[in-house]
């Protein structure tokens, strides 16, 4: 399933979904650029001026979590995640479609569980005001909130892929 095939489905839901994941990917890209600039400033500050910027490493770690989860639904929609194609390609088309459907079903279930647990964790951390035990002591909820949002979108994407694989299995 590619981003183009999402756009090819003209339902308002899928068009909106495509817009959301494109926006998230763009935001992830922008955050990655800003993180790179922050690291470059930290390096220059540390080595040229002997004045390191406190918290740079920690902020970079949080940014990389966000970059990963902002991009994940878009990458999956474009078929960009790692696959063991050399094994799958040896199967006949129907068996391949069924195997891909089974994998997508498992991924849907795993992402649904992560989404549920993630939302519960974010809500719990927000309610108790949990701060991360790191030098900056940032609140945990905003930092981890991207995880259930991303896994929700991945759940939707994997469910869509499951439907497509099952359709391909019955056609052949």
**pLDDT digits 0-9 by tens, 4-18:** 555 556 789 999 999
Q: 46-100, pLDDT tens digit by residue?
A: 999 999 999 999 999 999 999 999 999 999 999 887 777 777 788 888 888 898 8
What would the two tokens of residue 141 be? Answer: 């909820």
Nearest to 74 by CA among 169, 147, 1: 1
Q: Where are the alpha helices (DSSP H) in 49-145?
A: 56-77, 85-88, 93-128, 140-144
Give the predicted TM-score (pTM) of the model. Answer: 0.87
CB 70 within 8 A of CB 153: no
Distance of CA 168 to the CA centre of its chain: 26
What would the two tokens of residue 3 be? Answer: 């981003």
Nearest to 123 by CA among 147, 156, 153, 155: 147
DSSP 8-state assignment for residue 50: S
Of all residues in the chain, the percent with pLDDT exceeding 70 is: 94
């Amino acid at each position: 399933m590619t981003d183009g095939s999402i756009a090819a489905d003209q339902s308002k839901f899928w068009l909106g979904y495509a817009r959301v994941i494109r926006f998230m990917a763009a935001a992830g890209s922008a955050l990655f650029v800003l993180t790179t600039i922050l690291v470059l400033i930290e390096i220059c500050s540390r080595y040229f001026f002997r004045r390191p910027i406190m918290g740079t490493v920690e902020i970079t770690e949080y940014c990389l979590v966000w970059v990963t989860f902002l991009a994940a639904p878009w990458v999956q929609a474009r078929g960009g995640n790692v696959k063991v194609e050399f094994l799958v390609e040896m199967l006949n088309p129907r068996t391949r479609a069924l195997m891909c459907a089974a994998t997508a079903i498992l991924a849907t279930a795993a992402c649904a569980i992560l989404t549920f647990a993630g939302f519960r964790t974010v809500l719990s951390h927000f309610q108790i005001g949990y701060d991360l035990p790191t030098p900056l002591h940032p609140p945990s909820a905003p930092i981890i909130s991207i995880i259930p949002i991303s896994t929700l979108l991945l759940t939707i994407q994997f469910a869509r892929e499951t439907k497509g694989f099952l359709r391909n299995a019955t056609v052949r």
